[in-house]
């Protein structure tokens, strides 16, 4: 996909259209990922990694275009490589951990470094201009090109700090002022776009911080526990039972992630196997190193998988972040069906038989009414749609397809009119994701 983005930018130069096409490619990959998820030919880890990779490619395209525009406006040339600085985008959080959901924000840091002889104020101004242009290109409205929501709140000093910093500025901040939680956040930092060499240099800078040779002091461990308790108390919506919150509730996503990250802070300096950004991989490594009992590792991995799958199902169903388990039975049934469970009255497993090629299984309902009578058919989970028809996970609801779109290429051999013309969601374009 990144090669496609590079080709588009080369053909169309530094234009807004090129950045929108890069987002269109991301929308296409989101749709493809959702289809694979819905028909259960990919697991939750592949889903998260696919969304993160597609988002990284969109950021890559926006950076190339923004760099070219700024270079031309400031008289340096017509290409990002003509700028007097190098710029890298560092993925953080679920983005860096390759575990993004369908409506997740992309957590990032922006880092730059200058060529020799460039005035510090000029390089800071150029870097800020590129990042500002990049943010605009990622959210300009366009059909079939969903906006990319990015957040730089994990940067030094949070929202009060500079949006983009030089490599030396990051080094100075982390050396003098950073708290333990900031080193914890760096555990999932990985370069996702921009100058590859600068990205590797940034990783070299932060490795001794996130994998401290001295390990984790007990006072720092207590600070992390206090921070977690305060965060859950402040962020849990009023009136919502903790048991219904998939992220902050007991046994939820935060519990699992922070266990893995605490193990990394304690033992990452001694065990290279723990130096991973994916939570599931860290749990597996901790089990193999006997840092985590096998039963505990299994329970944590199961909670992680179920929580992520349920959040993704809720996002596919309503197009919003699914951190709170709904109370409406209709929403619960829809999420269960999207996860692959059968009817509420049935306990029959929905596991697919070996050798299944994506066609209809015995006893499964046929697809959409517009589905052709011949050709390979793909069984989609039957869920009630927002417009009253059984559209089986209509992606128009997520805003991934333009209003009134025609036939699209579906995995298989036949074009499937995913949303028929009477669909009011397709006519309105659907709500924008999250």
Going residue by residue through the chain, which has 434 residues, state the pLDDT in tens, using 9 for 90 and above. Answer: 778 887 877 777 678 888 999 999 999 999 999 999 999 999 999 999 999 999 999 999 999 999 999 999 999 998 999 999 999 999 999 999 999 999 999 999 999 998 877 888 999 999 999 999 999 999 999 988 899 999 999 999 999 999 999 999 999 999 999 999 999 999 999 999 999 999 999 999 999 999 999 999 999 999 999 999 999 999 999 888 999 999 999 999 999 999 999 999 999 999 999 999 999 999 999 999 999 999 999 999 999 999 999 999 999 998 887 789 998 999 999 999 999 887 754 434 444 433 434 333 333 333 333 333 333 333 333 433 334 333 334 443 343 444 444 433 333 322 333 333 333 333 333 333 33
Contact 9, 18 (CB under 8 A): yes
DSSP symbols for 64-118 = HHHHHHHHHHTTS-SSGGGSSEEEEEEEEHHHHTT---TT--EEEEEEEEE-TT-
Q: Which residues are 416's β-sheet partners?
A: 408
Q: What is the pLDDT of residue 352?
A: 42
Q: What residues have CB less than 8 Å from 208, skipping those under 6 apart?
A: none
Tell me the two tokens of residue 120. 């510090």
Contact 256, 244 (CB under 8 A): no
Q: What CATH number was assigned to the domain covering residues 1-208?
A: 3.30.460.10
Q: Which residues are 408's β-sheet partners?
A: 416
Distance from the Cα of residue 214 to its chain's centroid: 32
> What is Dmax (Cα atoms) for the chain?
72
Q: What residues have CB less than 8 Å from 363, skipping those under 6 apart?
A: none
Phi-psi region of 137 (alpha: psi -120 to 50; beta: other; left: phi over 0): alpha
pTM, entire model: 0.80
DSSP symbols for 220-273 = HHHHHHHHHHHHHHHHSPTT--GGGBTTTSTTSHHHHHHHHHHHHHHHTTT-GG
Whole-number Å distance between alpha carbons of 299 and 244: 19
Q: What CATH number was assigned to the domain covering residues 212-344?
A: 1.20.120.330
Number of H helices, E strands in the chain: 14, 7
Contact 383, 393 (CB under 8 A): yes
Element of type H or E holding 168: helix 167-176
Q: What is the pLDDT of residue 16?
A: 86
Contact 113, 165 (CB under 8 A): no
∠391-394-400 over CA atoms, to 5°? 160
Phi-psi region of 412 (alpha: psi -120 to 50; beta: other; left: phi over 0): left
**What are the sequence ranges of the domains in the chain?**
1-208, 212-344
Distance from the Cα of residue 227 to its chain's centroid: 24
């Amino acid at each position: 996909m990144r090669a496609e983005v590079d080709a588009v930018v080369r053909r169309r130069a530094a234009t807004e259209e090129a950045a929108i096409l890069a987002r269109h490619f991301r929308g296409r990959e989101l749709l493809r990922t959702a289809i694979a998820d819905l028909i259960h030919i990919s697991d939750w880890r592949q889903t998260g990694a696919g969304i993160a990779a597609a988002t990284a490619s969109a950021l890559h395209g926006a950076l190339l275009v923004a760099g070219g525009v700024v270079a031309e406006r400031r008289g340096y040339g017509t290409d990002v490589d003509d700028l007097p600085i190098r710029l890298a985008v560092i993925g953080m959080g679920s983005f860096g951990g390759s575990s993004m959901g369908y409506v997740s924000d992309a957590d990032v840091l922006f880092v730059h470094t200058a060529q020799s002889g460039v005035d510090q104020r000029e390089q800071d101004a150029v870097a800020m201009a590129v990042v500002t242009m990049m943010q605009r290109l990622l959210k300009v409205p366009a059909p079939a090109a969903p906006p990319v929501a990015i957040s730089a709140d994990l940067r030094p000093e949070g929202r009060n700090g500079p949006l983009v910093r030089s490599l030396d500025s990051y080094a100075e901040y982390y050396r003098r002022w950073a708290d333990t939680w900031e080193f914890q956040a760096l555990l999932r930092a990985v370069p996702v776009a921009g100058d590859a060499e600068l990205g590797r240099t940034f990783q070299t800078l932060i490795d001794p911080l996130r994998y401290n040779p001295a390990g984790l002091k007990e006072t720092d461990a207590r600070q992390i526990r206090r921070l977690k308790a305060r965060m859950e108390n402040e962020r849990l919506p009023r009136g919502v039972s903790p048991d219904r919150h998939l992220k902050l509730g007991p046994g939820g996503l935060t519990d699992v992630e922070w266990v893995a990250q605490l193990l990394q802070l304690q033992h990452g300096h001694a065990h290279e196997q723990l130096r991973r950004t994916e939570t599931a991989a860290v749990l597996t490594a901790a089990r193999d190193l006997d840092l985590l009992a096998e039963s505990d590792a299994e329970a944590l991995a199961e909670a992680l998988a179920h929580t992520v799958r349920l959040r993704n199902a809720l996002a596919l169903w309503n197009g919003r972040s699914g951190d709170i388990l709904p109370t409406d039975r209709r929403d619960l049934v829809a999420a269960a069906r999207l996860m692959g469970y059968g009817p509420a009255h049935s306990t029959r497993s929905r596991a697919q038989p070996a050798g299944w090629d994506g066609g209809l299984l015995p006893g499964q309902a046929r697809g959409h009414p517009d589905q052709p009578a011949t050709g390979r058919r793909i069984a989609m989970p039957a869920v009630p749609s927002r417009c009253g028809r059984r559209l089986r996970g209509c992606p128009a609801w997520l805003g991934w397809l333009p209003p009134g779109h025609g036939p699209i290429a579906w995995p298989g051999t036949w074009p499937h009119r995913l949303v028929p013309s009477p669909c009011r969601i397709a006519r309105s374009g659907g709500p924008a994701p999250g």
